Amino acid sequence: MPGNPKNSRTIKIDMMARVEGEGALNVTVKDEQVQDVQLRIFEPPRFFEAFLQGRHVDEVPDIVARICGICPVAYQMSAVHALEPIFGVEIPPAIRDLRRLLYCGEWIESHVLHIYMLQAPDFLGFASGLDMARVHPDLVKQGLRLKKAGNHLITLLGGRSVHPVSVKIGGFSQVPTKDQLQGLKDQLLWARDAAVKTLQWVTGFAFEDPEQDYTFLSLRGPSEYPMNTGQLVTNEGHHLNVPEFEEHFHEEQVPYSTALHCTFQGKSYLTGPLARLALNHDQLSPFTKEIFAETGFSLPCTRASMGIVARSVEVLYAFDEALRIIKEYEPPPSPSVPVIIKAGTGFAATEAPRGVLYHRFHVNDDGTIHVAKIVPPTSQNQRRIEDDLRNMLPNFLHLNDTEAAAKCEQHIRSYDPCISCATHFLKFTREEVS
């Protein structure tokens, strides 16, 4: 580190905590003006797109799951939905519903983890969910039990909650019986009540970060809150088909990050729970709408910290939706439909807990992958996080560096960034040059 010029300071704070991944933040301040904001991600590259080449399509769901231990189902879902159209596979309604149920499980376990163990400690002034448990044991127990209910759903359908094993092209290797799904009902009914309490609890938090002018991006389908299907829509009136994704969204590399930055028509945008809720709240279940309306919270939420509210709404919806699917479930005649492998190109985007997850595959006629392209939600939000910080940093400049860094770290955390793949490092560097 070179010596600081006169009147400039360089401050390092401890590691970024309670996020998945390693990030650093460099802020340059000159004459009381924010010059530059760089969110630096050190995620060691794991080269999934490269080593998928030459693997057989049947192996893809098991391999892409390993991109993320928090949202493996999202990767499996985007993969099978991208590959199935190549082979002309039509998925029967019961299998479609089971995939939606599996996704409900993942939204629940991922969101509840973030609500209770990662973000709520910021609002209540604790270093961790475990510390919070010493003062509020019943609250944290409720969170852990909610998370367990989500994990149970994934385990029943997929064998285990992290890297489930049953998802395949054409359906599942095995599907549950009606009785097995009914066996979840009591737990889900308890959980839906607890999800109501969670939503009521988080809407009472103090949201102090400034409002942002967001371009929201999410999927939207004709009739249901988006998970596996839909068009790409924005609050600026765009309606794009998924195969058009790469025409409008561009990944750029910046020298300070191993995650690529994705922009929409040259601008930053936001994907994830806040965007989904803003663009699809009319498709929530009647029960979820009713409870949310009672909280008096107005939409759209344009503060990043309100991500905790959007996640809590989606947890409630996911339990309600899971109960609906379980009630209506009739097992499909076969766990999967036959698949005839052929060459071609397929695209899909699904709604991972953190937002739009895009996959494109080119398949050779022997069923091996020729090209794989994967755009995860966090690389899409990375530029938006920088823009947010640029907008809000002027409010923090009167604070000392530790306090300013803590504000930035909380803000980054509120996005629930999933920058898996490294240790967690937030080096906050503020250089003041006068």
Partner 1 sequence: MVETHISPNRKQPRVAVVKFASCDGCQLSILNLEDDLLALGAAIDIAYFPEASSNMQEGPYDIAFVEGSITCPEDLPRILELRQQTTTLITIGACATSGGIQALRNWSDIAAFKQMVYPNPEYIQSLSTSTPISEHVTVNFELWGCPIDKQQLLRVITDLLQEVKPRIPIHSVCLDCKRQGHVCVLVAKGLPCLGPVTRTGCGAICPSMGRDCYGCFGPAEHDSVHPPGVPPNTTSLANQFHQHLQLIPVEMVRRFRGINGSVQSFSKESHAWEPKK
Q: Where are the beta strands (DSSP E) in 244-342?
A: 249-252, 261-264, 270-271
Torsion of CA 104, 260, 40, 351, to 10 degrees: -10
Q: Quote the DSSP letter at residue 197.
A: H
Nearer to partner 1, 250 or 267 (CB): 250
Give residue 55's Cα distance to chain centre.
27
Site of interaction with partner 1 (CB under 8 A): 14-21, 44-47, 49-51, 53, 55-56, 59, 62-63, 66-70, 72, 109, 113, 117, 121, 127-131, 133, 137, 140-141, 144-145, 147-148, 151, 158-163, 165-166, 168, 172-174, 252-253, 255, 258, 260, 335, 420-424
- What's the closest the beta carbon of residue 367 comes to partner 1, in angstroms? 10
- What's the closest the beta carbon of residue 423 comes to partner 1, in angstroms? 5
- What's the closest the beta carbon of residue 151 comes to partner 1, in angstroms? 6
- What's the closest the beta carbon of residue 46 comes to partner 1, in angstroms? 4
User: What would the two tokens of residue 213 be?
Assistant: 């002018």
Q: Which amino acid is at 236?
A: E
Nearer to partner 1, 44 or 88 (CB): 44
Q: Alpha-carbon Rg of the chain, whole angstroms?
A: 22
- What's the closest the beta carbon of residue 307 comes to partner 1, in angstroms? 18
Nearer to partner 1, 252 or 294 (CB): 252
| DSSP calls for 49-67 | HHHTTTSBGGGHHHHHHTT
Q: Quote the DSSP letter at residue 103.
A: H
Nearer to partner 1, 126 or 287 (CB): 126
Nearer to partner 1, 89 or 144 (CB): 144
Nearer to partner 1, 241 or 253 (CB): 253
Give residue 222's Cα distance to chain centre.
22
Q: Which of 262, 246, 247 is nearest to 385 (CA)?
A: 262
Q: Which amino acid is at 81?
A: H
Q: Are 312 and 303 in contact (CB under 8 A)?
A: no
Nearer to partner 1, 121 or 230 (CB): 121
- What's the closest the beta carbon of residue 203 comes to partner 1, in angstroms? 24
Identify the three-state secondary structure at position 37. Answer: strand
Q: How many residues does the chain have?
A: 434
Within 8 A by CB and 6+ apart from 166, the residues are: 157, 158, 159, 172, 173, 174
| Rounded Cα gap, residues 133 and 126, in angstroms | 10
User: What would the two tokens of residue 305 be?
Assistant: 């910290």
- What's the closest the beta carbon of residue 3 comes to partner 1, in angstroms? 23
- What's the closest the beta carbon of residue 271 comes to partner 1, in angstroms? 20
Nearer to partner 1, 173 or 200 (CB): 173
